């Protein structure tokens, strides 16, 4: 049964409150601890950066058969929530307006193809990266069977300025027969630019995780102040495995 309060929040009936649903996937977790995200990255600079978006297919273009526009969501230089929608230009990088301290989602908003079970909304792998072909921030992937995902899968989030988050639930799904270790971290004070810094601390560990794990307490027991990074990382002792995670956060204006 739905919680009546959370149901009202989802409908936008509670001013100053919203629910964030995040999910992440890493199809090749190896022996090095890395984020559960496409591309295995979640960039966390202390100063705002200029970023760009590009595809490896010319069909992801403003007049093409693939992705025509993409919306990017993250935090600006003041650590406030921002969303920018840009027109794609195929394999030519396009500057994303503003500067960014975090990117936690990108999604195709317009496509040149009517998507079906056999035709997706973008033609190539779409990458968000630092301007000038710099480090990758996010990646919108093509699955192993060749189907476009349509949005990023980033199992991390950062609480915007002026808000407090409360962890409502989390779920871990593991590739059959594999036993990775999944670690959940948080780091407060993400805007601190000189030592001493706030620590990055573990708040739950699943050693030798198998199958599925679900956490859904009757009331939130983890409070996340503004400018707190939160998410999951994983590794295996040997070999590799796919790991997916999902979590929900209740955001409340301070």
Domains and CATH numbers, the chain: 4-41+157-253 (2.60.120.1330), 49-140 (no CATH)
Average pLDDT over residues 225-232: 98
So what's the pLDDT on residue 76? Answer: 98
Between these two residues, 48 and 193, which has the higher pLDDT value? 48
Burial class (CB in 10 A: 0-12, 13-18, 19+), 35: buried
Average pLDDT over residues 55-84: 98
Report pTM.
0.94
Q: Above pLDDT 70, what percent of the chain? A: 98
Compute the half-sphere exposure of residue 145: CA atoms within 13 Å on the CB side of its CA.
Answer: 6
So what's the pLDDT on residue 7? Answer: 83
So what's the pLDDT on residue 2? Answer: 55
Average pLDDT over residues 197-204: 94
User: Residue 39 — φ and ψ, nearest 5°?
Assistant: 85, -10
Q: Above pLDDT 90, what percent of the chain? A: 80
So what's the pLDDT on residue 177? Answer: 77
The pLDDT mean for the chain works out to 93
Whether 137 has a pLDDT exceeding 80, the answer reads yes
Closest CA to 33 of 234, 246, 208: 234
Q: Are 165 and 82 in contact (CB under 8 A)?
A: no
- For 106-119, b/e burial (b = at least 16 CB within 10 A) is bbbeebbbeeeeee
157-179 pLDDT, tens per residue?
Answer: 999 999 999 999 999 998 877 78
147-159 pLDDT, tens per residue?
Answer: 999 999 999 999 9
Average pLDDT over residues 81-89: 98
So what's the pLDDT on residue 1? Answer: 43
Tokens of 223: 């409070």
Whether 239 has a pLDDT exceeding 90, the answer reads no
Q: Are 84 and 71 in contact (CB under 8 A)?
A: yes
* Dihedral sign for Cα atoms in the order 224, 140, 42, 203: positive
């Amino acid at each position: 049964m739905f919680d009546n309060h959370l149901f009202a929040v989802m409908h936008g009936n509670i001013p100053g409150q919203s629910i964030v649903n995040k999910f992440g996937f890493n199809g090749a977790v190896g022996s090095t601890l890395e984020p559960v995200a496409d591309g295995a990255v979640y960039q966390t600079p202390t100063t705002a950066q200029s970023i760009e978006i590009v595809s490896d297919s010319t069909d992801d273009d403003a007049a093409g058969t693939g992705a025509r526009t993409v919306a990017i969501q993250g935090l600006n230089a003041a650590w406030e929530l921002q969303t920018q929608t840009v027109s794609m230009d195929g394999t030519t990088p396009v500057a994303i307006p503003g500067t960014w301290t975090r990117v936690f989602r990108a999604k195709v908003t317009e496509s040149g193809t009517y998507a079906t079970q056999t035709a997706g909304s973008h033609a190539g792998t779409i990458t968000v990266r630092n301007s000038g072909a710099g480090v990758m921030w996010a990646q919108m992937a093509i699955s192993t069977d060749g189907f476009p995902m349509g949005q990023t899968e980033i199992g991390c989030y950062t609480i915007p300025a002026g808000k407090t988050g409360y962890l409502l639930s989390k779920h871990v799904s593991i590739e059959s027969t594999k036993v990775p270790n999944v670690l959940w971290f948080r780091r407060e004070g993400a805007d601190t630019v000189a030592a001493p810094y706030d620590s990055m601390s573990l708040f739950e560990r699943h050693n030798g995780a198998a199958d599925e794990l679900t956490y859904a307490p009757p009331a939130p027991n983890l409070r996340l102040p503004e400018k707190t990074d939160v998410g999951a990382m994983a590794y295996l002792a040997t070999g590799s495995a796919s790991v997916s995670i999902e979590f929900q956060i209740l955001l409340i204006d301070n």
